[in-house]
Structure 1
Amino acid sequence: MELRKSERKRAKIKMALQGSSGSGKSMSALLIAKGLSNDDLSKVAVIDTENGSSDLYAHLGRYNVINMEPPYTPEKYIEAIDICLNAGMDVIILDSISHCWDELIDFHSKLPGNSFTNWNRVTPRQKAFVNKILQSPVHFISTMRTKQDYVLNLKNGKYVPEKVGLKAIQRDGVEYEFTIVFNIDSKHFATASKDRTNLFGDKPEFQITSGVGKQIKDWCESGIDLDIIKKNIKNCTSQDELNEIYRSCISYKDILNQHFVDQQHHIKNSQIINSNNFSKNGTTTN
C-alpha cells in the first residue's frame, strides 16, 4: 500500500434515469446517448424490454436495438450486453432494468424453503448483472420505472399512509452504484437526485437534450487516460523514454507496473538483437 495524491482518471459514465410510465425516460436516454457519442448514434445500442418502444424514436438517428423477450433474467441482460460490446458500441442503453428485478422477485417467490436464506440464490445473480454494467468499458444509461412510495405515520393515535416520493422498481440501494441519477417527472422535466460529477446537482429542474450528454462526455474525458499512457509506454524505444513516462505517472505505478516491465524487457531484447547483428555484420575491436 502507498499513499498518493488523488487524480481523476478518464471514466465511462454509469447513470440511471428513473420516472413513471410516460415520463420520457427512453427519449431522454437516447438524447443523452446522442451527446455522449458526438451525434454518432451508430455507436449506440438500446437493449429494449419495453415491447419495441425504442423504435418510436428512430427519427433521432440510426441507433442499434436488441429486443429482449421474457424472461428478463440477469443472465439474458448480460448476454445482450456482451453482444453490444462485441459489436463495438460506445453507449449502451438498458431500457429498462426494472424488468430484471421483477424477474428476480418472481424467481424468489417460487423457491421452496426458507424465504430469507433463498436470497442467497438471488443476490449473486443481481450482483453479477450490476457488476457487468460497472466493469464494462462503455457508457451505460439505465432506465428504471418508479412507483409512488408511502410510509405510515402516527397521527392522533392512528397510522396514516403518507406519500414520500417515488421509489425505483429495482433492488434497494441500486442507485448508489451509479454516478448520476436523474428523476424525470410526468412533464418530462429532470432533476438530479444523485450527481458525483457536480454538473447538475445544484440545478433547478431542466429538460434533457443532447447537450446534457455532451456535458457528461466532457466531464468523463477531463481525467487522465490510462489507455493513452499504456500506448505511450509500448511505443518507447529506449530506457530513458521509459523512465521519463514512469516519473510522470508515479501515482499509477501499481496499475501500470506490468506494462513498464514488459516494455523494459522488450527494449533490452531489442538491444541484444541489434548488438548481435552488429557483431556478425560489422567490425569490432578487442
Structure 2
Amino acid sequence: MNKYFNEEESAGIAYGKVGIYGDAGSGKTRTAAEIAIGLHKLIGSTKPVAMFDTEPGAHFIKPLFAKNGIKLIDFNKSRAFVDLIGWVKEISGKVDIALVDSISHVWRELQLAYLAKINEKRPDHKKITRLEFQHWGPIKSEWARFTDLFLTSHIHMIVCGRAGSIYEYQEGDNGKKELITTGTKMATEKEMGYEPSLLIEMIKDHRKDGPVRIVNMCIVEKDRADILNGKEFEFPTFETFKPHFQFLNIGGSHYQVSDGTSKDLFTPDGNDGWSEEKRQREIINEEIAALFTKNMSGKDADTLKKKVMLLEKYFGTSSKTKIENMKSSELRACYLALKAHFEPDANVGSENLSAEEAQIFEKGKINV
C-alpha cells in the first residue's frame, strides 16, 4: 500500500476556516455573526454557537442569534492565549460553529506574557520593553498550537482580527528611502493569514453622496474554492459567501495531519546546526590546548617559538582567533594531524574522517 500516494482516498475540507479583519467599525463582528447564523442553518445544526469574546462584543450580537433560534454561549473572562487553547479543546464536540473576536488581543497577550516572563529572570537588570529577533522563535512555536487546532478541529471556526499595516521601503524623489504603507493584513501572527480557507477584509467606506454615508464593504482576499477571489461586496451576509461553503465537503471526513515527525534530522540534544557547529569547535579547541599542555608545557621563548611553528604548519596560521573560528571539520583534521606529530606511535589516521577532512589531514602529514 502506498504511504504517500493513495488514489482511493479523497481527503476533504469538511469545516470552514474563516478569517475576517478590518478597522474599528468596519463590520467584522456583524459579518462573523451573519456567517455563523447562515452556516448553522445550512448544516442543520442543533447545537449552540460558542464565542471567545475579548472585546467584549457578544452582548450586541446575541439578539441576532436569538432571533434565529440559536443560543450563543460566550466566554469573555480572558484574553490569555492559554485560555484560548483550553477553550477550543473544551468546546470540541459540544458545538459545530465557533467565533473568536478578537484574535489580535490574544496575539498581543502572548507577546506581553513572554516579555513578563523573561523580565522575571533579570530582576537586577534593565527591563526589556520590546521584543527582539531572538524572542520570536518561542512565541511562534507556542502560537503554532492554536494554528493546529484552528485547522484540524471538527468545528467551523470564524476568527476576527484587527487590521495591521504592511510597510515597505520606497525610494522617494530625493533618492532617500522612506517607509510607506502599502497594504493591510490581519494584526496577528504573520503566518495566520495563510491558514483560513476564506479570508475577508472589511472596510468602512465613507461616502459623500447618497443616502448611506458609511458603507461596510468587504474584499475577499482569499477563497480556496476560487469562486469569490478578489470580489468586493457591500453589507455582506451569509448569502455573499455561501458558494464557498457549498464547495466544502460538509458532512464528510475532515483531513487530519499525521503524527509523522522529522526530529531524527536534528542532533540528539535538539541543538540547531549553528549551535552544534559552535559546540564542536569548542570541544576540538579544548583538545588542541590539552595536546600542547601535555607535550609543550614550557613557557620559555624557545618553546613558544616551536608552538607557533607547529600552528602555522598544521593550521596554516598562528592566530588563535582564526583557529578558534575554523570550520569544525577542518579544525578536526588539523588537530588529528598535529596529534599524529606528537604521538607517531598512536596510529592516528584518516579512516573515520570525511573526504574533505581526510584531504586536510593527509596534507598536514606531508607538511611534517
TM-score w.r.t. length of structure 2: 0.55
Where does 1:40-189 land on structure 2 (aligned, <5 Å)?
A: 43-51=48-56, 53-62=57-66, 63-70=71-78, 72-86=79-93, 88-110=94-116, 111-112=118-119, 115-155=132-172, 156-186=174-204, 187-189=215-217
Structure of greater Rg: 2
Contact 2:15 2:248 (8 Å CA) reproduced: yes
CA distance in 2, matches of 1:208, 1:135: 27
CA distance in 2, matches of 1:162, 1:117: 26
- Partner AA of 2:193 in structure 1: E
1:27 aligns with 2:30: yes
Partner of 2:351: none
Question: Percent identity among equivalent residues?
Answer: 23
CA distance in 1, matches of 2:229, 2:168: 26
Alignment CA distance shift 1:33-1:41 (3 Å): farther
- Partner AA of 2:88 in structure 1: I
Determine helix, strand or coil for the equivalent of 1:29: helix
Q: Determine which structure has greater relative contact order: mean sequence separation of CA pairs < 8 Å that are 6+ residues apart, divided by chain length.
A: 1
Alignment CA distance shift 1:74-1:61 (3 Å): same
Deviation at 1:82, TM superposition (A): 2.7
How many residues in Structure 1 have an aligned counterpart in Structure 2? 225
- Choose from 215, 223, 229 the match for 1:201: 229
Alignment CA distance shift 1:60-1:42 (3 Å): farther
Unaligned runs of 5+ in 2: 123-130, 205-214, 259-368
Deviation at 1:191, TM superposition (A): 1.1
- Deviations along 1:106-145, one digit per CA (max 9) or x if unpaired, are 1233324894444343223211122121121010000010
CA distance in 2, matches of 1:108, 1:188: 36
Contact 1:46 1:95 (8 Å CA) reproduced: yes
Deviation at 1:177, TM superposition (A): 1.3
Contact 1:189 1:207 (8 Å CA) reproduced: yes
Partner of 1:17: 20
Partner of 2:219: 191
CA distance in 2, matches of 1:98, 1:80: 16
Alignment CA distance shift 1:119-1:161 (3 Å): closer
CA distance in 2, matches of 1:124, 1:146: 23
- Partner AA of 1:105 in structure 2: Q
CA distance in 1, matches of 2:192, 2:222: 12
* Comparing 149-158 and 181-190, the one that deviates more: 149-158
CA distance in 2, matches of 1:170, 1:136: 20
Deviation at 1:213, TM superposition (A): 5.1
- Partner AA of 2:145 in structure 1: A
Determine helix, strand or coil for the equivalent of 1:55: helix
Determine helix, strand or coil for the equivalent of 1:173: helix
- Partner AA of 1:61 in structure 2: F
Partner of 1:3: 5
- Partner AA of 2:115 in structure 1: S
Unaligned runs of 5+ in 1: 228-251, 256-286
TM-score w.r.t. length of structure 1: 0.69
1:225 aligns with 2:252: yes
Contact 2:62 2:72 (8 Å CA) reproduced: no
- Partner AA of 1:3 in structure 2: F
Partner of 1:240: none
CA distance in 1, matches of 2:241, 2:84: 24
